[in-house]
Amino acid sequence: MQVDHVVCAFCGCVCDDISVTVEGDRITKAKNACVLGKSWFLSHGTPSDLPVARIEGKPVSLDRGIEEAARCLANARYPLIYGLSSTSCEAQRKAVALAEVLGGCIDCCTSVCHGPSGMALQGVGEPTCTLGEVKNRADLIIYWGSNPAESHPRHMARYAVTPKGMFVPDGRKGRTVVLIDVRRTPSARAADIFLQIKPGKDFEVLWALQALANGQKPDEISIENTGLTYEQLTGLADRMMHCKFGVIFVGQGLTQTRGKHFNTSAVFLLVRALNRHVKFALIPMRGHGNVTGIDNVLAWQTGYPFGVNFSLGYPRFNPGEYTVVDLLSRGEADAALVVAADPISSLPGKAARRLAEIPLVSLDTHDSETTRSARIAFTTSTAGIHAEGTVYRMDNIPIHLRKVMDSSYPSDEEVLDRLLAGVKELKAC
C-alpha cells in the first residue's frame, strides 16, 4: 500500500512530500526522502521486539511501569523532565503539565542546541521569515556554522537554493550561496563562496560586518586573526548590503561555540543593521524534527522556550540555573524523565554520569544508552508513523503528521497522560 503526502519528522526541514510504501507490518519504501529520512522511516516502520515497559531491565506490564514511574517522580525533590525534541506537540503539552504537577524543571534539547538563539531573541528580537519566503524571494543565502548537506539534506533542494520561486524565477542561477564555517564541509560544494574563519572568531567577524553595515570602519588589525582578509570581509558586507532579499541560516557552529548567545545576538543585530539597506532575515537551523515544537509549546504554556522551573508552583526561566547540563552537573536533579532523547550518550560527562546515577524514567521508540540505564523504560510508538500529531518546522510553521500504520505500542502522549494521572493521584491534586 502506498501512502502519499506523508511528513518526515526526522529533522527540522519537516518535508511533507514523502510517499511511503507499507508492506504488511513494515515500511519498505520512502520515496522523496533523503538518506536520513529514509532510514528513519524504514527503522521506525519495522516491528520491534522490545517490551512495552521495563523495570531495571525486566519486562513488566504498562500499568505496573506507570505505577512505578509515577512513584519515582512524585517522590523526587527536584525532578527534571528533559528531551521532547522528537515527539509530537500533543505529547509535549502533557510533559509541561507533568512538570507543573511535579514542581520540577522542564528543559528540552534546545538548551544544548539553539537555546542561545532563544536568549538572543529575548535580548534583541528576531528578524525572521518563513522558508516559503526564502524559496520565493531570497537571492542571497548564507549558511553560517551549519552543514546542511549532512544535517538537513533536503534543505537546499526544497527551500533555500535550487527551487524556482515567485521572485527568483531562475532558481539556483538566481541565487548566491555563501557558506561560512571553520572547516570545509561537504556543503561547500553547493556554495558559490566558501569563507573559512578561524575557530572561535565568529563573533569578531559578525561584529566587524555589523560595523560595515552601520557605515563604520572596523579596526583592520583586529580582523587579521579571524582567518578572513579585510577584502573578503568588505566583499561579503557589500554583497549583503546589495542583495534583494538575504537570509542567514544560523547553525550550531555559532550557538554552541564560545560566546554562545552573544554569537547569536551578533547575527541578530547584524541582520537588524542590514535591514536599513535591504530586506534581510535569519532562520536558526533547528536539528531534531520537533525541537521547534517544544519551544513553541513551552512558550505558549509558560511564557519561556526552555529551561523552565516550577518548584514555586509558577514558571520561572533562567538558562544556566534551570537548564539540563547545569542542573545535572551541580547534582541538583534527583530524578529525571527523559522523553525521546538520548542524553546519556550526548550530554557532557559529568551531567551524563549524574543522570545515570539518579532514578531515571525514559520514553523512547527504540533502545538507546539512556533507555538501558533507565530504572523504568517505556517503549512508545513513533509520531508521524504510528500516530497523528503536530510538529513545527524550523521556521515555526506547524505541520500535521499523518498516521501510516498501526503499532502495538502506546504513543508518548498516552504514556505521559497516564503518568500525569498517576502523579496527580499520589500528590493528591
Partner 1 sequence: MTVLTLKSQLQAPLEAGVIVPDRFAGNSVAAVAGMPVTYGNEAACLGDFFKVAGAGSTEIVLEGDLGRVKNIAAGMTRGKITVHGDAGMHLGSEMRGGVINVYGNVGDWAGSEMKGGKIHIHGNAGHGLGGAYRGSRRGMNRGMIIVEGNAGNEAGAVMRRGLIVVAGNAGDFAGAFMIAGTLMVFGKLGIRAGAGLLRGTLVTFNQPELLPTFCYDCSYSPSFLKLILRDLRLQGLSISEEYITGCYRRYSGDFNRLGKGEILVYDQR
Q: Which residues bind partner 1 (CB under 8 A)?
A: 76-79, 102-104, 119, 122-123, 200, 203-204, 207-208, 210-211, 214, 216, 218-220, 222-223, 258-259, 262, 269, 273, 310-312, 317-321, 332, 334
Helix (H, G, I), strand (E, B) or coil at 324: helix
- Residues 9 and 89: their CA atoms lie apart, in Å, by 12
348: left (phi over 0), alpha (psi -120 to 50) or beta: beta
Q: How many binding residues for ligand SF4 (CB under 6 A)?
A: 13
- If the CB atoms of residues 77 and 164 are measured against partner 1, the closer one turns out to be 77
Beta strands at 316-317 and 279-284: parallel, antiparallel or unpaired: unpaired
CB 361 within 8 A of CB 109: no
Report which residue's Cβ sits closest to ligand SF4: 37
Chosen from ligand SF4, partner 1, none, partner binding at 269 (C-beta under 5 to 8 Å by type): partner 1
- Residues 345 and 285: their CA atoms lie apart, in Å, by 22
Site for ligand SF4 in 21-40 (CB under 6 A): 33-34, 36-37
- If the CB atoms of residues 17 and 334 are measured against partner 1, the closer one turns out to be 334
Chosen from partner 1, ligand SF4, none, partner binding at 183 (C-beta under 5 to 8 Å by type): none
Site for ligand SF4 in 4-23 (CB under 6 A): 8, 10-11, 13-15
CA dihedral sign of residues 50, 412, 390, 128: negative
Instruction: For residue 72, state whether it binds ligand SF4 (rule: CB under 6 A).
Output: no
- If the CB atoms of residues 10 and 249 are measured against ligand SF4, the closer one turns out to be 10
Residue type, 120: A
List phi, psi (to 5°) of 324.
-55, -50
Grid coordinates representing 400 are 500535521
- HSE-CB of 266 using CA atoms within 13 angstroms: 19
Chosen from ligand SF4, partner 1, none, partner binding at 11 (C-beta under 5 to 8 Å by type): ligand SF4
Chosen from partner 1, ligand SF4, none, partner binding at 77 (C-beta under 5 to 8 Å by type): partner 1
Site for ligand SF4 in 106-165 (CB under 6 A): 152-154
Taking the complex as a whole, the smallest distance from the CB of residue 380 to ligand SF4 amounts, in Å, to 20
Chosen from ligand SF4, partner 1, none, partner binding at 203 (C-beta under 5 to 8 Å by type): partner 1
Comparing CA positions, the residue from 27, 24, 31 lying closest to residue 46 is 27
Chosen from partner 1, ligand SF4, none, partner binding at 51 (C-beta under 5 to 8 Å by type): none
What percent of the residues of the chain are helix, what percent strand, and what percent coil, each to the nearest 5?
40, 20, 40
- Residues 261 and 115: their CA atoms lie apart, in Å, by 8
Chosen from ligand SF4, partner 1, none, partner binding at 405 (C-beta under 5 to 8 Å by type): none
CB 423 within 8 A of CB 101: yes
Site for ligand SF4, rule CB under 6 A: 8, 10-11, 13-15, 33-34, 36-37, 152-154
